[in-house]
Structure 1
Amino acid sequence: MLAAVHSMPWVAVRPGQSIADRLSGLAPSAEVRTFALADLPGARSPLYVGWALLLSLLVVAWLRPEWRRSVRVGTAVLSLALTFLTFLPGGAAVRASGFREADGPSTDFLAGTWLALVGMLLVASGVSTLAASPKPSTPPEPTPVRPTPAAVTVAADSTAPADPTPIFVPPPGWAARPRPAAVPWWRRPWLVTGVVAACVAGAVLVGALVWHVAAHPPATRRGELAALVVARPADSAPARPAAVDDRVNVPQLLPPGGPDALILAAQLLDVRHAAGAAWTRPDTASVTVTLLQFDSREQADQFQQSYAEFERRARGRGGEVGIPDVPGATAFTGEGQGQAEVDAVAHRDDIVVLISADGGPPDTIAVVESLVREQYNRL
């Protein structure tokens, strides 16, 4: 279980829905971002360390029976800490989601969280049910018996028959009753009750997990990225985008060129998810929006720099324009046959935004800047 929860959906983040909104019955936000434990490196490391310590305590309790009482105490403390750490990735997911704190983003814990709790409880209960080794007890040494005067008289009489059987007289206050045998763990009521309660709690958690997965299937990353693409205007005609269902049409996305285009195409191999949209405006401008999600923020930043350098060499620095309110975003303008050609690039976290508009009037640059700003805010 603990190995499986590494890549399972762990937490979902929604904007603008507080606990009071849920209790009042308001519909949840359609915009949701799901994170697996593997997506939250800062929050997963303490859990990995805690799970390793818990498993090591199980091994120690098995190999060293005389330490089991101390190991049980350590397991109880570690279980409480792991229960807290299991829900800690919720805050990291809110920070990674990019939602504004003013929107009051809320978290929903998914299958990975509950399965990790069940696995942790099973290992902890395994440590607790191991019977402690009893301390070795040495029987008390018998107190030597002093001979009585009658015994001395009998010993002095040579005619008295010798009795080979030794006579042992217990000292006063010594209990001659045999010591009761150790009771096995399955006959101890309090321990059996604890095991049954743990099994019932595990069954309830598993049932809640199955119900939650069946009633709330986690959203996929592909669907989330596609939902973040800006909507097509109502007065435009749909066209073929450059990225659909994590597949990128490289010739459509990147203009043909020399080694620079090959470098950009090679960097596209690091794209994890891709989505896009395209349409044709009433003024005949063809607009294409593409989102590329890389494996890391550094790879996204490197692709943006390579794309910007490619555009500078193709168009010259005279057509480079910064986009206000979007950090690091750049638009490159040009004209062909009296019509504007605009390509813009920006990135937020690990997602690169590429927007192009070809064949429109000279004021198409304002349209592209507005699209870049809207797409950046959606991310």
Structure 2
Amino acid sequence: MAQLTKMGMRMNTIIELAEAHQQCRRQAINLIVSENRLSEQVSKLLSNDLASRYAAPFYAGTDISQEITQLATEKTKSVFSSQFANISPTSGSNSLMAVVFALTEPGDKVARVPPFFPGGGYPFQYEVFHRQSLPLIFDDAQWQLDKQACIDLLIKEQPKLVILGASIFMVPMPVREICEVVHSYGGVVAYDGSHSLGLIAGSEYQDPLEEGADILFGSTHKTFPGPQGGLILTNSELLHKKIELVSNFTPLNGPTMICNPHLARIAALGLTLDEVPWQRYADQIVKNARAFASTFKQNGFTLRGEANQNFENSTYCHQVLPLLDKETGVKHRDKLKAHGIFCDGFMRVGTAEITRLGFTEHDSAHIAQLMCDVVNSAEPVLNEVKEQVDALVRSHTEIVM
């Protein structure tokens, strides 16, 4: 009996904490670049009976779930204009692993954007899986790949697989030029669109498949405002089948990464594909990001990549990144949090979630100015800023995109 009471207390604590988390997030302006807001309908699907079921057709009772998976797959192909789509991966990282395992062997070189600073690539440890990581040449001042240096490196090293895309970026990458080189010696180019998938869906950012990449993979919960998960897209049937052997449940063909692809997540993915006005949403994300960039610069902030002379605007996506040292970035993050504005320890801004909630360029410039007022003030808390943040939150509670 005591054990049951203990368990009951523990359950109540989890429920209370989860409710406290939701209240915390609903009462703040969220500018975390890797997060977004689920619609109420999508959230409900995640708690559907599908959430505890298996997808294997070997089991009775899976007819409807197989139909859901097929429908969501077709919707994915349609939105991204790809011939093949794999929606089994449970994360963007899982998608990357599937691509690496399917297309390389131990000892193979995998070229990638260097992680974090300088570079901004996803910090995947290829060496753990006995692959050789080959860092592409990155220009810190311009916050972009050094195109010619990368081409020279690829011609010399000829890695079997090249991973483009990044976690920290503001401008498109030279996908077309790099693909031409890699394809000339028989290599494969995959693009990590974890952060940019929603923009690609809205035709607002570079389309890697259209520019020559063999594979587009990524997370479905950043600018793409769906459930946590991943997907892999390609126009190559050969590559699609190779990846499926690794990422889908095929017990007769050896070990696979995903035994069960989480059916409730797949249903939620399918609904997200239907409900978002992709072009309008993606266009507004970029407009909002540029409003942040402009206001930051007006207040004396230097932005990473603004020295890049090849692009007219500071950002072409959802991200804006002030040039700050780590200590200052963390200090600004914590001070902004106390005012109900959430960003990361780089003071990096992401505009996907606020765009879903109907924030405009005017609103974004207003938030950016409030952020500058907070971090430039000697006062620990500016009550007038907290009041303005509260008012902005109260006036943007519904998902409109």
Q: TM-score range by the shorter chain?
A: under 0.3
Higher strand share: 1
With the length of structure 1 as denominator, give the TM-score of the two structures: 0.25
The structure that has the greater radius of gyration is 1
With the length of structure 2 as denominator, give the TM-score of the two structures: 0.24
